[in-house]
Amino acid sequence: MMRRSQEEFRIKEPCKLCEHDIVLSYKNPDELRRYMNKLGKILPRRATRLCGKHHRSLAREIKRARQLALLPYVMEQQAEFAYRGGPR
């Protein structure tokens, strides 16, 4: 049997929402925007450092805010993403 190194045993940081008893709501789109990237995609758990329970509720609230037009489905694209052609 192989022994695991100490690097494999990391102390997990507590979820920010669990720690401070914060409840996410679709009514506060500025708070939800913190968990989205520049293109409007929901960031993964490893990037947001949320527990599974709160990440699922975050995704649900972002989707609700999108349906009510409080958040965009896709953010404005930058010029470098919009134009994919090369020099002619």
* Within-domain flag for 26: yes
With contact defined as beta carbons under 8 Å apart, do 77 and 39 qualify?
Answer: yes
How many separate domains does the chain show?
A: 1
12 band by pLDDT with thresholds 50, 70 and 90: confident
Largest CA distance in the chain: 61
* Within-domain flag for 19: yes
User: What are the percentages of helix, strand and coil residues in the chain, rounded to 5?
Assistant: 40, 0, 55
* Within-domain flag for 82: no
* Within-domain flag for 3: no
- pLDDT at residue 79, rounded to an integer: 53
CA gap 48, 18 in Å, rounded: 13
**Per-residue pLDDT reduced to its tens digit, 77-86:** 655 555 666 6
* Within-domain flag for 5: no
**Per-residue pLDDT reduced to its tens digit, 44-66:** 999 999 999 999 999 999 999 99
Domain span at residue 52 reads 14-73
* Within-domain flag for 30: yes
CA gap 65, 21 in Å, rounded: 21
* Within-domain flag for 60: yes
- pLDDT at residue 57, rounded to an integer: 96
* Within-domain flag for 25: yes
Return the minimum-mean-pLDDT range out of 10-14, 33-37, 83-87.
Answer: 83-87
CA gap 26, 60 in Å, rounded: 9
1 band by pLDDT with thresholds 50, 70 and 90: low
Instruction: Identify the CATH number of the domain in which residue 21 sits.
Output: 4.10.640.10
